[in-house]
Amino acid sequence: MASRRPELILLVPGLAAELPGMEAPGFPWPETPGLDRLLSRARQAPGPSHPYDAVFGLLTDGVQGPDWPAAAPSYLADTGREPPGPLLRADPVHLRADPVRLRLFDASALAIRAEEAEALACAFNEAFDAEGLRLETACPERWYLHLPSPERIEAQAPRDLLGRPVDDCLPRGSRAWAPFLNEIQMLFHAHEVNRRREAEGRPVINSLWPWGGGEMPQPRAGVLAGVWTDDAIARGLAILAGVTESPTPVDAEAWRATAGEGRHLVWLDGLAAAAGQGHVESWLAALSTLEETWFKPLSGMLGRGRLASLKLWSCNSKSHEITMITYWNVFKPSRHFSRNLR
């Protein structure tokens, strides 16, 4: 008989980050007894190297990155309907030129207002209507480019490029993307929305980042009982697979209070942005919060038999797997989690 206790896959991208000063003796690690114990008692196995590898691997029939067909499931989550035709994610970004390179900052750093998104989309659609292109702002942070026909594109997800030089990572494919993006940048630069943002001291929305093309993937049902995340792509894949999807819970106790039996995926994304941009203080603060709200409570749940098993995926190509039995293995003393991740 299957256990009525839930099984949990905890997806924590950024947990295995290598940040400046981390190897120094005086690095200000917070106390993490819950995470230390979990990883010290875990068995290692191969795991995903990217959060989208994780969710596409669990919820679709064999889709692999790095060119995930992200736009279609994301659109489903944002609008409640499948795309009417070919489309891409065309996310609003701020491209900042430093003395040497061009760096990208995504919508999480822009605080875009709904009326700003609509105004820029309207200007785009007027400019590119003759080409059969239409920009839709399903929400202020996620925009979609409807295409007259499918187009091949190779482009990284903006979350993987935060604050990084993008000169060598610009989208490529069947369209001449560089000249097209230059046209968009000139259009947005002159727009009243950005003149107002600049006057208010806010970063301008000066480009789009197209990515995530491809057909809606084939769903893989029966693997998960629930998906808990704020990521639109993962939510859309869950909807497609007929899996219950919910927002990221505030803490482990809130999740456990509503999770039924079966295997659940919880995606905790609080570390990823800080890790990607090398913000040590923000990363440490987020880690401390996750220890109190997730790692320590989950350690207690395993110890008290309220959780059948836990797989922790930090997107470093490893899976750390703990059961109620291995949790009580006294021959594996606790040591700092960073030693177990590497």
Q: 276-310 burial, b for 16+ CB within 10 Å, e for fewer? A: beebbeebbebbeebbebbbbbbbebbeeebbbbb
Question: Locate tokens 């409640």: which residue?
Answer: 80
Q: Which two tokens stand for residue 238?
A: 């869950």
CB-based contact 290:268 (threshold 8 Å): yes
Supply the pLDDT for residue 58: 97
- Does the model's pTM come out above 0.85? yes
Supply the pLDDT for residue 331: 66
Supply the pLDDT for residue 1: 37
Supply the pLDDT for residue 339: 80
Q: 111-132 burial, b for 16+ CB within 10 Å, e for fewer? A: ebeeebbebbbebbeeebeeee
Question: Locate tokens 């959060």: which residue?
Answer: 51
Query: What does the alpha-carbon distance between residue 158 and residue 141 come to, in Å, rounded to a whole number?
Result: 12
Nearest by Cα to 235 from 223, 248, 222: 248
Per-residue model confidence as pLDDT tens for the chain (342 residues): 345 899 999 999 999 998 888 888 889 999 999 999 999 999 999 999 999 999 999 999 878 888 899 999 999 999 999 999 999 999 999 999 887 788 999 999 999 999 999 999 999 999 999 999 999 999 999 999 999 999 999 999 999 998 788 988 899 998 899 999 999 999 999 999 999 999 999 999 999 999 999 999 999 999 999 999 999 999 999 999 999 999 999 999 999 999 999 999 999 999 998 998 889 999 999 999 999 999 999 999 999 999 999 999 999 999 999 998 898 886 677 788 888 777
With H, G, I as helix, E, B as strand and everything else as coil, classify residue 221. coil
> Per-domain residue ranges for the chain?
7-63+218-341, 71-211
User: How many other β-carbons are positioned within 10 Å of the β-carbon of residue 66?
Assistant: 14
Supply the pLDDT for residue 256: 97
Supply the pLDDT for residue 2: 47
7-63+218-341 has which fold? Alkaline Phosphatase, subunit A (3.40.720)
CB-based contact 180:112 (threshold 8 Å): no
Q: Which two tokens stand for residue 45?
A: 């196995």
Q: For the chain, how far is it from start to end, CA to CA, in angstroms?
A: 36
